[in-house]
Structure 1
Amino acid sequence: MSRNADRSTGPQRPHNGWRTFRRILYVIVAVIVLGILAGAGLFFYYAQSAPKITQSALSSDASTRVYDANGKVISRLGAQNRTYVKSDQIPVLLKKAVVSTEDRRFYKNSGIDPVRIVGAAFANISGSSLGMQGGSTLTQQLVKLSVFSTAASDRTLKRKAQEAWLALKVDHNYSKDQILEYYINKVYMGNGVYGMQTAAQYYYGKKLSQLNLAQLAQLAGMPQSPSNYDPIHYPQYAKQRRDLVLQAMAKNDVITSAQAQEAEATSVSTGLVKNHAATTNVNAKTTKVVDAYLKQVYQELRSKGYNTTRGGLKVYTNLDMGAQRKLYDIVNTNNYVAFPSNKFQVGSTIVNPNNGKVVAMIGGRKTGKVTFGLNRAVQTDRSSASTAKPLMDYGPAIQYLNYPTYEPVKDTAFTYPGTDKSLYDWDKKYQGTITMRKALYESRNIPAVRTLQNVGISKATTFLKGLGMTFDKKLTLQNGIGLYISSEQEAAAYGAFANGGTYYKPYLVSKVVTQDGKAHNYASTGKRAMSTATAFMLTDMMKDVMTESSGSGRSAAISGLYQAGKTGTDSYPDDYVNKVPDGATMDSWFTGYTKNYSVSVWTGYDKQFETGHYVSETQTTIAQEIYKYEMSYLASKSTNSDWTVPSDVTETRQNGKTEYYVTGHPGTVTDGTTTSQYSSTNTTSSSAYSSNGQVTTNSSSRNNTSTTENSTSKESSSTEQKPAGGDGNDDSSATSTTEASSSAASSTTDSDNNHTVSNDTNS
């Protein structure tokens, strides 16, 4: 036998493979142990910072509360009819339905259920859970509803750890029946309803104790997705969910299969009531007063990403309840103003010019029982008429061309460039060369448009942008006598004149406290929109609107009050003018301010082309009267101080009157008459007149209404067509109240320049 063969049959050494395997196994076990220890450490680290949970938090409703500026609750969304039901009054079948649906091991677990978490994960993968069981126990769901935000951004590992820790504490401190009681009373049930007892009243008009098996199963299944499982609006999905609950109850031996089948055969519409109890108000009368303001609050909250129906939010607003009630009374009673009919409408916004806070808002008058209806204060479907002149014409002229208040401007025959359409003033007459001051307080159209020609559309648009107004399409000369902006936008823009040239974006919500106690503060950061000279000189000229004998806003004058403002009226188009009396207009505006408040008011009819829906010549002062009564109230609770001449403005005397110019730019004085290189003529380059039609706004945070004026104080006015493709909307949705067919009739479109021009007498 060979040597090699001898070796092959000899004894073998132990193999090293098993030793290597054991080492790997030890490492794996060590990693797992370390992972568990690290996870436990992280869990307890997060648990230490968990918010406190009290019985009050567990038992209270999760509605959204809205507060005024003084911290008083003005609305509790979903809370008014919440009826708390004690455990001994909750049907046993409902309790078993909820447990079968949400947490089958509820009576066995200690607030968290590791077995359930693993089972839920497997069931979700395999599709065997019937969509009934998630990873969170019923106790964890209660904790989430009581102290945590439901926002997706808060679904973090830290939050889940804190949720689990608090669930353990709740399970230790409260009985299972107490936990189930809190849960049944807290869950959101759709349509602003919280709690299953309230839901029984809302959907069936009965108490929980009066509902049958099918109805109880319906309610038990709704909390997972109350909107989708709403039996009124989505009966198909509601039935599917209800039947799954019944099947789960049968599987858990809570009911028999025969009982489940009998209940499944019942229509989900059986027993539903048509009239539902209101669930949005604390006080119906108060809510009516603040309806438009609240609607904008909820819109502002949604734009910030908050869920107002499920968040349990505390919302603090800038609402001055006194100012709001006064404004509501002025427009809804006959104690102040003689309104022609209940269909005559109003939209108004009041802004603090020093910080942008919206302190009051009215969206309509005589609106009946409608809740959250059309808010005319933020609509942008009507022209603002001559209230646009300080914003687009004279403001930019002072800012960019250094016009003095006595700048000579021409009130002579004018034809829009590239067209045969003429522009007129209210009296169809011309005054020749007059001062810019006179042109403004008498609200004459031709000097305003000539001034805009000299400024140029580009600079005017830049000036408007600084005041929070952006547009999808280029503006035209005609926009110099009418912009599609809202009373909210205009009140904020005029606020910049009031405070010396700083623009604050208007806002209603000042603070939001989420259910976990986290506070989110909001404010508007002021941005310089114009020089102090521009703001002061515009203000000084607009004082004369109410004080001069030929001023267009004499009805808004308040004796002894330092204030400024501008009127605006929008006349009917040429093809409709013979259908209304002489002097009738579609809309009437007044926007005025003091150093403390800026108030913008629109008046008119929703359907201005219907028979009789015109604003008569005498009624054009109603907007001024609303402003006068409201501002008188506001002035009684604030200081009355005049504006002081800033350092960049020089005072002078012209024609026996105090006038002002930007320091260093007095104009050229010849024989006592000041002239300027920018004095208007009726010629302009085509580039000075943008030819894109009209306007679409994209500013601030809401939609708005605009109008125009023709008051008995000889206010001139301008009619124009709303531009195709835009209605002045900003980032919020708006509902137009003007019929498109009627609007189309309000102007003539020039095919050569693709812009709309009008032959009218608006201001």
Structure 2
Amino acid sequence: MADSNENASRVQKFQHRKGPQKKKMKLWKKIILWILAIIVAMVIFGAGLFTYYASSAPKISYNTLSSDNSTTIYDSKGKVISRLGAQNRDYVKQDQIPDNLKNAIISIEDRHFYKDHGVDPARIVEAAFSNIRGNGGLQGGSTLTQQLVKLSVFSTKASDQTIKRKAQEAWLAVKVDHDYSKQQILEFYINKVYMGNNAYGMQTASDFYFNKPLNKINLSQTAFLAGLPQAPVQYNPYTNPKLATDRRNQVLEAMASNKVITREQANQAEQTSITDGLAKKHTTNSSPDMKNEKYADAYIQQVVQELDQKGYKLNAGNKVYTNLNMDDQKQMYNLANNPTSPVQFPNNNFQIGATMVNSNNGKVVSMLGSRKQKIAFGLNRAVQTDRSSGSTMKPLMDYGPAIEYLKWPTYQAVQDTPFTYPGTNKELQDFDNKHEGTITMRKALVESRNIPAIRTLQQVGIQRSQDFLSGLGMTFDKPLELQNGIGAYISSEQEAAAYAAFANGGTYYKPYLINKVVNVNGAEKKFSSKGHRAMSQDTAFMMNDMLKGVMTSANGSGTAAKIPGLYEAGKTGTTQYPDDWIKRVPNQASMDSWFTGYTKNLSLSIWTGYDHQFKPGNYISEQQTRIAQTYYKEMMSQASVGQPNIDWQKPDNVVETRRDGVNEYYIEGHMGTAVSANNNASQSGQASKNRSVVSNSSSSKNSSSSSSNSNPSSSSQTSSGSSSKVEEPNNQSSSESSSSENNQSSTNSTTATSNDNNQNASSSSSQ
């Protein structure tokens, strides 16, 4: 009986435990079923959506896959200036394509090419893990066939990166893989890709870069061509040899990993210089209506980059309408290249970069990237940002912010007294090694004196100056420092757009070159720059009035740029050699010379100098610093023909006052601090004495000195060592200027605060 009871008890316990377990099992079954149901529903929905999207995919044919789909570029008047691809492509058939090239492309772009069916889900997963690990080889989930489809019928605009586009792309890739052999697909791809320098297809690229057909180039050159389509501008061996080398080696490593070449072959090819066999001269296949291409080389190069940024493929058959004024562009080119030009350059190595923008909308109307350049799409110096801007920075970083944030009047007293950069033993000097004492902001800017500019920046504060620059489209990788108040690393395009904000009354427009794009289907997309207020109208007007004096005052630094009768304003800028180079170059030698000037219609910024400024003999003499000014004068003279010649009107909030025979301005309610009568008299005598010293020199100069690292590739330099000097004004008559500029000042008793941050910047003395 006891055993019977015990067994019954065990049965009850087992059934008690089994009940909850059954419930749990049923719950898990339900969850799994629900998950499976959701997955099935998603698959059905996805399949239906894919089918729907695929049904509306664009048509793709042999002509679509094999045609060049060239991009036609027009100037502002609708005249063709370039056909990228149409006249510069040599089609190569599959039996003429070397196996090494095919293997290189497949290894770096789609190593499963011969096995996939147009799309490869496994490749997508593999590419994701490969990119996470940082391995070379695969660059993304798209197969080679998908890339061909993109090149043939789709753009890369961000707005096009949709599920619908991806579905259509996959469907078309499957269709192409079904309709054409793998060898035909490779043929299409090799002839379709853009290879930089206005070359389409790898046969054309081989002729351009090596003056050889594809079947005559070596393994190193083959790997270079195979890797180029990913970023043809970035991997340009003429302008970016290091990046081109890295990309070529990545292809060689992928080939070795894919076992299509041996490790020894890869190592040997990697030891070959990327410049070995690189062509120095190129033949052109341009048609007669492309005769204007040489004038607009830099402009077209920037159009190509802007198209890429907007997501347009060059071989998509688009019509691109630009803001280029071809008359102005030809003038830019001729002034820099014709032997009979009124602007004389010392030699063919002396270079220039210049950009002209419409002051009222940001349209880039002309751009010159070089002179005496034989390589198409070479270095565009108009957009380079590795040269200091000298004193052209003062209106942007020092005096503009002083008016905007501190409400300084044009006669505000500033101190031109001995100055040492805080935390260093570096003393800042001007061209004459003199100090004017207390002078006006106007005088300091017109004569481009360094010390008042830096003291002004101290009072404004680095952060507020950076905010002001940011409003003018200028941002920097590292925080700026005091030295940047007299020179920073910006391009002529950036500076032309920034000064245009002064010209139009305070609105900044980001510069742009493309006005409209029309695709092969006739769809039109227009572009413009939406302006934003970067400063008050008061600031813009008062800066304009002072910057006029740079060109009109007898002791202004930019008198060589003055165009008689034209309402204009501008600023000079030069940079001198760093301390450890001063003794290696003649006295007053400069590395860079700038001039940026503007009217109410146009803003033009010009850089001149040598690419290798530290090479013996590659310095700018005192007389040569005026080349930028002369170029501005000749260029703006033509560009202003037919344009309204209008002076800037004083805003209601700005008050005009007469001080020492000069019309000065202040913002209502903010009269600032003026120079005392006693100080004014003493400074007048001292300034006359200083000018006498300058007048006895061989010639006047508009220059600025820039203390920088001796490494010419350095993009940010820190001050150290001895004094740095600035540009000297163009003194025409010491007596003529004594009454007007000497007596406009105020005393500034405010103690300037020091900035002790260790900020990376150029230590330039500029004019």
The alignment status of 1:439 with 2:425, answered yes or no, reads no
1:151–1:282 distance in 2 versus 1, CA, 3 Å: farther
Residues 688-734 of structure 1: per-residue CA shift (max 9 Å, x gap): xxxxxxxxxxxxxxxxxxxxxxx98845654344479xxxxxxxxxx
Q: Which residue among 705, 708, 720 is the counterpart of 1:719?
A: 705
Number of the residue aligned with 1:270:
none
Q: Which of the numbers 337, 344, 347 marks the counterpart of 1:338?
A: 344
Give 2:29's aligned residue. Answer: none
- The structure-2 alpha-carbon separation of the partners of 1:206 and 1:366, relative to structure 1 and needing over 3 Å to count, comes to closer
Residue among 370, 385, 392 paired with 1:364: 370
Instruction: Give 3-state SS (helix, strand or coil) of 1:591's partner.
Output: strand
Among 601, 611, 626, the residue aligned to 1:606: 611
- Alignment partners' CA distance in 2, 1:184 and 1:753: 53
- Residue type of the alignment partner of 1:719: S
* Counterpart AA for 2:641: S
- Identify which range, 507-516 or 391-400, moves more after superposition: 507-516
Deviates more, 1:410-419 or 1:351-360: 410-419
Alignment of 1:504 onto 2:523: no
- Give the % identical residues: 54
- Give the 3-state SS of the residue equivalent to 1:633 in structure 2: helix
Counterpart of 1:319, as a letter, is: L
**Equivalent in the alignment of 2:662:** 657
1:413/1:307 Cα in 2 relative to 1: closer, same or farther (>3 Å)? same
> For 1:664-691, what per-residue CA distance to the aligned partner results, in whole angstroms no more than 9, with x for missing partners?
223467988999xxxxxxxxxxxxxxxx
Question: Deviation of residue 139 (structure 1)?
Answer: 11
Three-state SS of the structure 1 residue aligned to 2:396 is helix
CA shift for structure 1 position 609:
3.0
CA deviations on 1:104-159 (whole Å, 9 max, x unpaired) are xxxxxxxxxxxx96998899999xxxxxxxx9999999876543336798576644
Deviates more, 1:66-75 or 1:476-485: 66-75
State how far apart, in whole Å, the 2-side matches of 1:311 and 1:548 are.
54
Distance 2:452 2:124 in 1: 73
**CA distance in structure 2 between the partners assigned to 1:203 and 1:385 by the alignment:** 37
Structure 1 residues 316-465: aligned runs within 5 Å: 316-334=321-339, 335-367=341-373, 369-465=374-470
- Count matched residues: 637
2:622/2:701 contact within 8 Å kept: no
Q: Is the 8 A contact 2:626 2:702 kept in 1?
A: no
Q: Which residue of 2 aligns with 1:648?
A: 653
Q: In 2 relative to 1, CA 447–239 (structure 1 residues): closer, same or farther, beyond 3 Å?
A: closer
Asked if 1:68 is matched to 2:75, the reply is yes
Query: Residue 489 of structure 2: which of 484, 487, 497 is its match?
Result: 484
Residue 125 to residue 38, structure 1, CA distance change in 2 (3 Å):
closer
Tell whether the 8 Å contact from 1:358 to 1:508 is kept in structure 2 after alignment.
Answer: yes
Q: 1:424 to 1:200 in 2, by over 3 A?
A: closer
Distance 1:646 1:583 in 2: 41
1:425 alignment partner, SS class: coil
Which whole-Å CA distance do the structure 2 matches of 1:458 and 1:232 have between them?
A: 43
Partners of 1:584 and 1:206 in 2: CA distance: 44
2:588 to 579, 583, 597: 583
1:621–1:712 CA contact under 8 A, matched in 2? no
1:420-455 Cα deviation digits (max 9, x unpaired): 443222222233333221221111222222322332
3-state SS of paired residue (2:657): strand
Contact 2:72 2:320 in 1 (8 A): yes
Please give the residue correspondences for 1:204-283 in structure 2 after superposition, counting only pairs within 5 Å.
Answer: 282=286
Question: Structure 1 residues 715, 403: CA separation in 2 closer, same or farther (over 3 Å shift)?
Answer: farther
- Per the TM alignment, residue 390 of structure 1 is displaced from its structure 2 partner at its CA by 1.0
Give deviations 1:629-682, integer Å, cap 9, x for gaps. 11111101422111111122112222222221112223467988999xxxxxxx
| Contiguous gaps of at least 5 residues in structure 2 | 1-37, 107-115, 127-140, 232-243, 262-268, 270-275, 681-696, 725-753
- Are the equivalent residues in 2 in contact too, given 1:63–1:313 (CA < 8 A)? yes
Shift of residue 282, structure 1, vs aligned partner? 4.0
Q: Distance in 1 between matches of 2:715 and 2:463?
A: 31
Kindly indicate whether residue 564 of structure 2 is the aligned counterpart of residue 562 of structure 1: no
Question: Partners in 2 of 1:612 and 1:167 — Cα distance?
Answer: 58
AA of the residue aligned to 1:333: N
Q: Which secondary structure does the structure 1 equivalent of 2:382 belong to?
A: helix
Contact 1:587 1:604 (C-alpha < 8 Å) held by counterparts: yes
Structure 2 residue matching 1:627: 3-state secondary structure: helix
Matched residue SS, 1:376: coil
Partner of 1:82: 89
Distance 1:403 1:364 in 2: 40
Q: Call closer, same or farther: CA 1:646–1:613 in 2, change over 3 Å.
A: same
In 1, Cα distance between equivalents of 2:578 and 2:143:
67
Provide structure 1 residue ranges, at least 5 long, that are not aligned to the other structure: 1-30, 103-115, 127-134, 245-266, 268-272, 676-710, 725-734
Distance verdict in 2 for CA 1:517–1:672, change over 3 Å: same
Shift of 1:356: 1.8
Contact 2:596 2:604 in 1 (8 A): yes
1:65 is displaced (CA, Å) by: 3.8
Confirm or deny: 8 A CA contact 2:478 2:760 kept in the other structure: no
Q: Does residue 627 of structure 1 match 2:613?
A: no
Are residues 140 and 646 of structure 1, via their aligned partners in 2, closer, same or farther at CA, if it must alter by over 3 Å? closer
2:719/2:762 contact within 8 Å kept: no
Q: Report SS of the residue matched to 1:576.
A: helix
SS of 2:82 mapped into structure 1: strand
Q: Distance in 2 between matches of 1:151 and 1:669?
A: 56
Instruction: Describe the SS at the equivalent of 1:583.
Output: coil
Under a length normalisation based on structure 1, what TM-score does the superposition of the two structures give?
Answer: 0.66
Cross-structure match for 1:731: none
- Distance 1:409-1:201 versus aligned 2 partners, 3 A rule: closer
CA 1:713–1:279: 2 relative to 1, 3 Å: same
If the length of structure 2 is used for normalisation, what is the TM-score?
0.66
CA–CA separation in structure 1 for the residues paired with 2:444 and 2:305 = 40
Say what the alpha-carbon RMSD is for the aligned residues.
5.8
Q: Distance in 2 between matches of 1:64 and 1:564?
A: 39
The residue number in structure 1 matching 2:538 is: 533
The reply on whether 1:149 has 2:135 as its aligned counterpart is no
Q: Secondary structure at 2:392's aligned position in 1? A: helix
CA distance in 2, matches of 1:755, 1:348: 29
Deviations 1:287-327 (A, max 9, x none): 4332322333333344x263756555544433222222211
Distance 1:364 1:751, change over 3 A: same
- 1:380 Cα shift? 2.6
User: 2:71–2:317: 8 Å Cα contact kept in structure 1?
Assistant: yes
- CA shift for structure 1 position 568: 1.3
User: CA–CA distance in 2 between the matches of 1:168 and 1:618?
Assistant: 67
Range with greater deviation from structure 2 (543-552 or 752-761):
752-761
Deviation at 1:231, TM superposition (A): 11
Larger Rg belongs to: 1
Tell me the alpha carbon deviations over residues 170-216 of structure 1, each in whole angstroms, 9 at most, x when there is no partner: 99xx999xx999969964486776569868978999999x99xxx9x
Alignment check: 8 A CA contact 2:585 2:619 kept: yes
How far the C-alpha of 1:561 sits from its partner, in A, is: 0.7
Could you tell me how far 1:405 is from its partner in structure 2?
Answer: 1.3
Distance 1:224 1:622 in 2: 38
Paired with 1:572 and 1:148, the residues of 2 have a C-alpha distance of 51
